[in-house]
Amino acid sequence: MKKTSYFIVLIGMLTLCSAYISDRLDNKTWHEASKMGDFYHDLYSFLPTDSLTDSIVNLYQGPVSDWPKPNIDSGIVYQELGAMPGNKEYLKWDNDDTVKLGKILFFDPRLSRSSQISCSSCHEPDMAWQDGRTIALGNDHLQGNRNTPSLLNVIIQKELFWDGRAGSLESQATAPLAEHHEMDMDVKSLPAKLMKIAGYDSLFTNAYGNSDITLSKITYALASFEKTLRSKKSRFDFFVEGNKKALKPEEIKGLHLFRTKARCMNCHNGPYFTDLQYHNIGLSYYGRKFQDLGRYLVTGKKEDVGKFKTPTLRDLLHTRPWMHNGLFDNLTGVINIYNSGMHQLDNKVSPAVDSLYPHTDPILRPLQLTADEKEALVAFLEALNPVEYKMRRPELPGMGHE
């Protein structure tokens, strides 16, 4: 009993002391301290494992503003982690005729040349609005060159696709319709095709006030529907909102590692767990089979070779496999490669030898996570997963009456 009381008092004193110190460290000093490892983990490292976990749990019992400072590299702009924002517009959208039209169009395979492939063929609602494949399959079973990204939370994105080549949801919706290896539709003839389907005239009238069908109306309706696709709340959200029993001690330890020693918040921050920026994590296969130059193909800037947009970590278990090329379907494997510092390209290659030779983002470095720490990190990432998403497919107009 005395031993337990001693640990409780000691932990309390150390927590107060560490909070006092961290509040008084300037940013530069704090970043330097963080580079030496997990500040709080080191502070309590002499304690037994259970006591160490308990001490970390205690650090996260208050509001987010009282949490330990995250390990963020100097110069990086970030948002603190947070709960999913409330969607006050959802009920309005759910009863919006444009959204209803967009939903029907999204699930209608007649938007493709073959009338066999719909948007939902690659963005399946029961699979977090992606397809679960390493690489997408489309028209005539042609394979694309990248993993299908989830459509969840696309409302926050200003640039779409892994390389950001679409500047709006409307333009994003147009591309798959026309791509030969996706839906292979002649988009100029699509409005005429839909006009021949009984029922679409009234749907367009309800949405737009007249029965004229145009490509811009089609893509606007699709984009309007896609904006309603939001992640549901996970146990992490309930924890942030005040239910401190929503996360288990092991998951809270993983949250702490995510914010500190594992350095995840350099890219995965804010309520959506993404900075929406582009990074080269060493998976461009530069100069080899399966080479993908990423963002460079859009901007033409040398510094963008091999860069891809940071994905959200919400609904993580439902969006496997991960990475732009679907390389990983196991969280432990993902953490192991990040723990190693990722694939570091040869930084000594002279621009005179190869002007496009890419460089892995310098924020990636070996993490020295222990086996227990990696398990805790996996546990936390799994806690970001909500209940599986379910959506009833709409009844399509004119089926069997064309």
Q: Are 147 and 324 in contact (CB under 8 A)?
A: yes
Q: Which of 172 and 353 is assigned the larger pLDDT?
A: 172
Average pLDDT score over residue span 140-144? 88
pLDDT at 21 over 80: no
The three-state DSSP-derived secondary structure of 234-299 is: CHHHHHHCCCCCCCCHHHHHHHHHHHCCCCHHHCCCCCCCCCCCEECCCCCCCCCCCCCCECHHHH
Sequence-separated contacts (24+) of 345-348 with Cβ below 8 Å: 345/282, 345/286
Q: How far is CA 180 from the centre of its chain?
A: 27
Q: Which domains does the chain have, with CATH numbers?
A: 2-83+234-382 (1.10.760.10), 90-226 (1.10.760.10)
Q: Which of 97 and 5 is assigned the larger pLDDT?
A: 97
191 CB neighbour count, 10 Å cutoff: 17
Q: Where are the beta strands (DSSP E) in 106-189?
A: none
Question: Can you name the residues that pair with 308 across neighbouring β-strands?
Answer: 279
Query: Among the listed ranges 25-34, 132-141, 328-337, which one has the minimum average pLDDT value?
Result: 25-34
Average pLDDT score over residue span 294-304? 97
Decide: pTM greater than 0.95: no
Supply the pLDDT for residue 38.
Answer: 47
pLDDT at 4 over 90: no
